[in-house]
Structure 1
């Protein structure tokens, strides 16, 4: 059996990628097998997954979802498509975490923030000048659906509290803590440990400035609870938050969320 652009066909010994092009995607000039680009002369194996792409051509709606995940490691998509992740805070960390999860095809995102986009956000947060003044929830949802229109997004336009967090995020598989405020970081962790036992939790602490890239670490502090950062570089006067280091930490968070969902944490 072979899977070619979401179609299941019989497998024949010695079949090459190029042998499929005329029937399944005339003019294709990009060939991906099991998540990796290959040459047209590549011989396929039984159970291979092959995507045939014609550069510059807009795919049909039916083709688009499979092509969005064509470069994923095989077996990943179905697992993440069935998952739900909550994101608390839609600033530098939250917007990047959300974007990474949207691009891997997460099934559902719950996005919570009470604020609006303002100019000083744009040095590290994934918004655009035209979105200044918009609710962050609305602006980010708009951006994420441009990346992947096949995910479900629920937005919560309110200031989170230790009491409201369990109610809003009950039922998610993993919760990402993306606050700037250390008081809210502590409150969120208390809320989860007390009221949401068993869910994955990925927080962040220590990512300001332009320090050593590799000082940003992922640490397991207890079962299902992980903290990302160097643990020391707090934002403050003379020590700002900037896109490169915030991005490193946020992608640590997103990858740790993926590992939890895949049972690899």
Structure 2
């Protein structure tokens, strides 16, 4: 009989050390008397990026955003096979609300060399090695661009107005709300959309949770020229702020070509998260 798979997520949280270099965050769990990276099991139906951010906050008191994916870690536990998705994470706020508790009673910020000595499990040390390899490539400082296809809209045949005014269907409105914690997990602070009603309505629930302004960009419409797309991409990559760009399925091939990537055909309300640096895409993940 196949082992039960237990989905979990967490991250390696890093910050600049006062003496130079970087430090990573470790947690001590009194139940196991171990030192490890913050992580935890996904709630039913919870996307793993959301799990990672939630569990790190619950265990450490730190609010973080996901920066770059790390290799998945799989190991056997009582009751099944645990699969843990990890990301490199950056602090959103320097302050922690941590209080020692039965689950985690100690936190330590340590240099990677000390972390290697302190970590209890071999799979954590292997994960640390992957992190250090990415740090050597400066990928821990990568920027984030989320390419989002608008959620499901009312069919053209059922709408009498102009196509730009066609709104989201009820299913699409539900999906737009589901996107809020996902975009928050990646720390999105710049929100750009095609002017069409269905793209604007897809990001509206997220806009409502932030103090950011919605930017409308005609170059993200369907049928724009390749030159316009290139200018749009240049503007999207040119900011340090994690960015979401909500667009249409027909616009995706030109966006992918301009970014020099082979991207998937996104389903309505789905997104491709791109991690980039100096105009080059380093990694991507589908959400």
> Is the structural similarity TM-score above 0.5?
no
- TM-score, with structure 2 as normaliser: 0.33
Relative contact order: is structure 1 or structure 2 higher (C-alpha 8 Å, sep ≥ 6)?
Answer: 2
With the length of structure 1 as denominator, give the TM-score of the two structures. Answer: 0.35
